[in-house]
Structure 1
Amino acid sequence: MRVSLKQFLAEGRLKRHRTTPREVRDLLRVADRDLKDAAVDAISVDLRFQTAYQAAFQLATIVLAASGYRTTGVGHHWATFKVLPEVLGPEFQELAAYFDQCRGKRNLSDYDRAGEIAAEEATELLEEARQFRRTVLSWVRGHHPKLVAR
């Protein structure tokens, strides 16, 4: 299901938001911390997966904030990934769907059951999140250069 920013604004899932370079920098620092932590083999696979997911979510939040939006209310993780291709472009539909699928697994491991995530899944998500970081920084520099340092 493809959604539009206009639709999510009307439903109250999104609000207009004016970000700052500091907010973007702070979110990026959180994502970087999570990427570093997700690479620690001494923690559980579930926690590595959850932390890599959180990094991807923070990076997606940067994209929305730079575009003048923030999600609100219940389901804000879901909404973030649903509108991501609307901002970045349709070529990011598959990646957004992947991150949303990871959201479901993260919820399961965080709230319901331990040990359901394979080590390969955590490693794959970490690599996808690292690549997404590069994509997000390139996109912000290209579309909103005043929000990030070179």
Structure 2
Amino acid sequence: MERDLADSEAEGLSPDWRMNIAYNAALQAATAALAAAGYRASRDQHHYRVIQSLRETLRIDVQTANTFDAFRKKRNVTGYERIGLVSDADAEAMRALAVILRDDVVTWLKKNHTDLLKGP
């Protein structure tokens, strides 16, 4: 997650790639929360299910879940159908969302699952 957040700021990458890397960081954070809660998403619609699970695990609001899901859809289009649809602003917004989710997951883990955290 941390590596992807750092890589999403790398110079010379297209906005498509920067958004994709930031999306991956956010998905990792969401997957970690789901796993900590004792669940995993099925293979069918995996990303969608992980994103929607944030409403239960972290209690994120509908707008945040919808924003994350909109990035999922944009990522799918740019990855499989058309390149160049992602702006610098999109990449930056996805990265900002990934940072928020990472921070929220860490806070949630500290409150609910300290046994899963490593460190001193």
Q: TM-score, normalised by structure 1?
A: 0.75
Q: 2:99 & 2:114 partners in 1: Cα distance? A: 21
Partner of 1:6: none
| Cα shift at 1:65 | 0.3
| Cα shift at 1:142 | 0.5
Partner of 1:115: 84
Q: 1:87 & 1:81 partners in 2: Cα distance? A: 10
Partner of 2:28: 58
Letter in 2 for 1:59: A
Partner of 1:28: none
Letter in 2 for 1:61: T
The match for 2:44 among 66, 69, 74 is 74
Partner of 1:34: 4
State the aligned residue count: 119
Letter in 1 for 2:118: A
| Cα shift at 1:119 | 0.5
Letter in 2 for 1:148: L
| Cα shift at 1:93 | 2.5
The match for 2:99 among 130, 139, 144 is 130
Larger radius of gyration, structure 1 or 2? 1
Partner of 2:63: 94
Q: 1:92 & 1:76 partners in 2: Cα distance? A: 20
Partner of 1:13: none
| Cα shift at 1:128 | 1.4
The match for 1:103 among 62, 68, 72 is 72
Letter in 2 for 1:146: D
Kindly report structure 1 stretches of 4+ aligned residues shifted beyond 3 Å: none
1:69 alignment partner, SS class: coil
Confirm whether residue 146 of structure 1 aligns to residue 115 of structure 2.
yes
Partner of 1:46: 16
Identity in percent: 35
2:13 alignment partner, SS class: coil
- Tell me if the contact between 2:58 and 2:104 (Cα under 8 Å) persists in the aligned partners: no
Q: 1:41 & 1:132 partners in 2: Cα distance? A: 23
Q: 1:86 & 1:48 partners in 2: Cα distance? A: 28
